[in-house]
Amino acid sequence: MAFILIIASLVLFLWIVSLCKVLLLPRIPFAKHFTNNNGRAFRKRNVLLVIAHPDDESMFFTPTINFLTSKGHNVQILCLSIGDADGKGNIRKQELFQACVALKVPMQQVKIVNHPDLQDGFGKVWNHSLLAKIIEEEITSRCIDMIITFDSYGVSGHCNHRDVHYGVCKLLHDILQRDIEVWELCLVNEHSRRSGIAMAQHSSQWVWYACFTLLLL
Ligand SMILES: *[C@@H]1O[C@H](CO)[C@@H](O)[C@H](O)[C@H]1NC(C)=O
């Protein structure tokens, strides 16, 4: 019971931190880029969010997803593992689908890959060529014109996140024949309540959120 209370208060704290971000961070160019504010015709983008584990979308990309869907863009999610480091992969897969309900991303626009060479874990090196190939197939089959993914540090420093970043780089430099827009993570949280609801779907990972919150302190 005490444990649940601690987790609950940490989650609450995380919401407050997100709220502070809303109030303190200046608006960034990303928002301007996707808003029809200078007389140009609206162009609906087919955006692919590329993540490594179920819950990355809620942890790191909720503001981005909310922003894009609220402006009428089409967001699809490619998750490159089921996050089975602790043997909870099947639960985490379901949690991702539930989080996507909260994030208003239709289930058929969410794909979760479970490849033997791309398994969740701090010590696991993910093959960048393989990542590039999988992402390329997804881009082609879903007519994607924009990718969003982690920065080169992997946002939280997780090696799987970094490998995903470099997989996207490899795709851009070595494989893709056409122009595509790519953005690294940007952090502005305008819907902290929805972030909280999406995060709440990943109950198997609450211990990690607690650790992450402590790191923010
Ligand atoms: C990485 O993946 C590519 C594409 O699937 C494959 O050709 C290559 O052999 C792999 N490299 C390693 C070291 O496994």
pTM: 0.77
Q: Which of 51, 40, 18, 15 is nearest to 135 (CA)?
A: 51
Instruction: Show the 3-state SS of 22-44.
Output: HHHCCCCHHHHHCCCCCCCCCCC
Kind and range of the H or E run holding 46:
strand 46-51
Asked whether 165 and 149 are in contact (CB, 8 A), the reply is yes
Residue 136 has what pLDDT? 96
Rounded Cα distance, 161 and 150, in Å: 6
Return the domain boundaries, the chain: 2-33+44-216
DSSP-assigned letter for residue 150:
-
pLDDT of residue 32: 66
pLDDT at 211: 52
Mention every residue, 6+ apart, whose C-beta is less than 8 A from residue 121: 85, 160
Residue 12 has what pLDDT? 64
Distance 127 CA to ligand 1 centre (A): 6
CA 156, 161, 167, 168 torsion-angle sign = negative
Q: Which residues line ligand 1 (CB under 6 A)?
A: 127, 129-130, 133
Residue 80 is given by DSSP the state S
Tens-binned pLDDT, residue by residue, of the chain (217 aa): 676 777 667 666 666 555 545 445 445 566 666 665 555 667 899 999 999 999 999 999 998 999 999 999 999 999 999 999 999 999 999 999 999 999 999 999 999 999 999 999 998 999 999 999 999 999 999 999 999 999 998 888 899 999 999 999 999 998 887 788 898 886 545 455 666 677 777 877 766 655 555 444 4
Ligand 1 centroid–CA 120 distance in Å is 18
Ligand 1 mutation target, pool 125, 128, 130, most atoms within 8 A of CB: 130
Among 129, 131, 163, residue to substitute to test ligand 1 (most atoms within 8 Å of Cβ): 129
**Superfamily in which the 2-33+44-216 domain is placed by CATH:** LmbE-like (3.40.50.10320)
